[in-house]
Amino acid sequence: MDALLLSRLQFAVTAGFHFLFVPLTIGLALLIAVMETLGFVTKDERWLDQAKFWGKLFLINFAVGVVTGITLEFQFGMNWAAYSVFVGDVFGAPLAIEATTSFFLESTFIGVWMFGWKRVSRGLHLLSIWLVAIGTNLSALWIILANGWMQNPVGYVVRNGRAEMIDFAALLTNPYGWTMFLHTVLAAWTVAGFFVMGVSAWHLLKKNAPGFFGRSFRLGAFMALAASLGVLGAGDLNGMMSAKLQPAKFAAMEAVWETEKGVPYNLVVLPDPANERNRVEALGIPKLLSFMAFKKADAEIKGLKDFHPADRPPVWPVFISFKLMVALGMFFIAFSAAAAALSLFGWTEKYPLFLKAAVAAIPLPYLANELGWIVTEMGRQPWIVHGLMRTAEGASPNVGAGMVAFSLISLTLVYAALGALGVFLMFKYAVKVPEGAA
């Protein structure tokens, strides 16, 4: 493998691993803030016990997430120097704002929250966890706005071979970035909802503190339901944005080869990229794909054949990842709706098989998140900045395959150790029953 492929693989491994921890940090911070707010308003200490229990898991996850994210910035300079030179004036701004505002906000007040129990007033303690929750979500916003610029470059001019920002407001209001943000954050809340639901289900199966974990199961179920419904809406907006601004990505997502109007949505599709066609197309719903993409039944969708083969994303990874993500999203809505109904009527413990399914479902939202990023990033290929710079042009010219291979192997081993430690600590504290919980 050459240095370019190894550099891409290294970024995929490190970014993908890092993002295993990001969604739970975003979602669990909000859920803990809600728990502590309920305790503050109702004066019910049981909600504070909830916040303490889930807070331990949040802190472990946050710590591993921070450590695994540090290497990503270094890779821009080491493996992607040409890219950094080209986009540094634009891409660096939102990342700098994220580090100096949002990250410092959450990092500072996470300390106040962690060490402030019974040391600061209840109001200040509550404020600190809300600032942590706001900070984590703002961090996601700035980073996704940076990525959104790579998907849909706006507010720039190219001078002397470099992109220079001329309109910060355009970057800040980039519609592609905002639809990505909504989709990503709502998906992160879904991860947190299923995580809380799954851990609670494990304890309910063991008959551990059914009152305590029945309450957290109910809260997790309703959060998962609300968030997964939101993901459905945000995903629709994201798909429309892709059809408008990245038609080759949209065509790969749906395996559309010919440019047509009033395109049907085929429930069964088997792409054949080698022959630029679909081997199987069945159960088509007339004009639905055109309507989904542009909200017009007779709208035209550009097919992959309208793009030079060198300008097309890889069809199979994008297509399969997209279809699996959508299928999982539908499952999340159905499962969380059933969980919410069971918990609302107090029937959760009557169905141990459902509780076992809730435990088994914990990894699925993580998988859906990773699949979403595969669609987003591989669907943009061959561009590292859509329409401006190809991925091959962004690599460092003086970094050899041997150096990248060494760093890839080293980082993979370190990340595997960190991952194992994180999972061990999460499991250790997740299975503990809080003292005095009933």
Question: What's the rounded Cα separation, in Å, for the pair 384 and 83?
Answer: 8
* Number of domains observed in the structure of the chain: 1
121 falls within a domain: no
Q: Of 177, 329, 321, nearest to 254 (Cα)? A: 321
**pLDDT digit string, tens, across residues 284-295:** 899 999 999 999
Query: What pLDDT, on the 0 to 100 scale, is given for residue 152?
Result: 93
For a pLDDT cut of 90, what percent of the chain falls above it?
A: 65
pLDDT confidence of residue 78? 84
CA distance 291 to 262: 8
**pLDDT tens for each residue of 415-428:** 999 989 999 999 99
Neighbours of 10 (CB within 10 A): 22
Report whether pLDDT(437) > 80: no
Which domain does 192 fall in, by range?
188-399
Indicate whether 13 pLDDT > 80: yes
Q: What percent of the chain has pLDDT over 70?
A: 99
Cβ neighbours of 81 (radius 10 Å): 16
pLDDT of amino acid 434: 81
Res. 116: pLDDT tops 90:
no
5: in domain? no
Assigned domain for 22 exists: no
Q: Judge whether 229 lies within some domain.
A: yes
Assess if residue 428 is contained within a domain.
no
Q: What values do phi and psi take at 164, rounded to 5?
A: -120, 135
For residue 107, tell me if it sits in a domain.
Answer: no
pLDDT digits (tens, 9 = 90+) for 144-153: 999 999 999 9
Residue 285, by phi and psi: left (phi above 0), alpha (psi -120 to 50) or beta?
beta
Q: How confident is the model at residue 132 (pLDDT cuts 50, 70, 90)?
A: very high
Query: Please, how many CA atoms are within 13 Å of residue 61, restricted to the half-sphere of its CB?
Result: 24
- Report the C-alpha gap between 44 and 202 in whole angstroms: 24
Determine which of 54-63, 103-112, 166-175, 338-347 has the lowest per-residue pLDDT on average.
103-112
Q: Please return the burial class of 163, using the count of CB atoms within 10 Å of its CB with bins 0-12, 13-18 and 19+.
A: buried
pLDDT at 88 over 90: no
Has residue 412 been placed in a domain?
Answer: no
* pTM of the full structure: 0.91
In a domain, residue 422? The reply is no
Whether the pLDDT of residue 90 is over 70: the answer is yes
3-state secondary structure the chain: CCHHHHHHHHHHHHHHHHCCCHHHHHHHHHHHHHHHHHHHHHCCHHHHHHHHHHHHHHHHHHHHHHHHHHHHHHHHHHCCHHHHHHHHHHHHHHHHHHHHHHHHHHHHHHHHHHHCCCCCCHHHHHHHHHHHHHHHHHHHHHHHHHHHHHHCCCCEEEECCEEEECCHHHHHCCHHHHHHHHHHHHHHHHHHHHHHHHHHHHHHHCCCCHHHHHHHHHHHHHHHHHHHHHHHHHHHHHHHHHHHHCHHHHHHHHCCCCCEECCCEEEEEEEEHHHCEEEEEEEEECCHHHHHHHCCCCCEECCHHHCCHHHCCCHHHHHHHHHHHHHHHHHHHHHHHHHHHHHHCCCHHHCHHHHHHHHHCCHHHHHHHHHHHHHHHHCCCCEEECCCEEHHHHCCCCCCHHHHHHHHHHHHHHHHHHHHHHHHHHHHHHCCCCCCCC
Indicate whether 192 pLDDT > 70: yes
Predicted pLDDT at 436: 63
| Res 106 pLDDT > 90 | no
**Confidence band of 117 (pLDDT split at 50, 70, 90):** confident
pLDDT higher than threshold 90 for residue 184 = yes
84 contacts 76 by C-beta, under 8 angstroms: yes
Whether the predicted pLDDT of 211 surpasses 70: yes
Question: Can you tell me the distance from the alpha carbon of 140 to that of 186, in angstroms, rounded to the nearest whole number?
Answer: 11
**Which pLDDT belongs to residue 438?**
61
| Average pLDDT over all residues of the chain | 91
pLDDT tens column, 248-301: 999 999 999 999 999 999 999 999 999 999 998 898 899 999 999 999 999 999
CA-wise closest residue to 421 among 57, 64, 160, 45:
64
pLDDT for position 74: 80
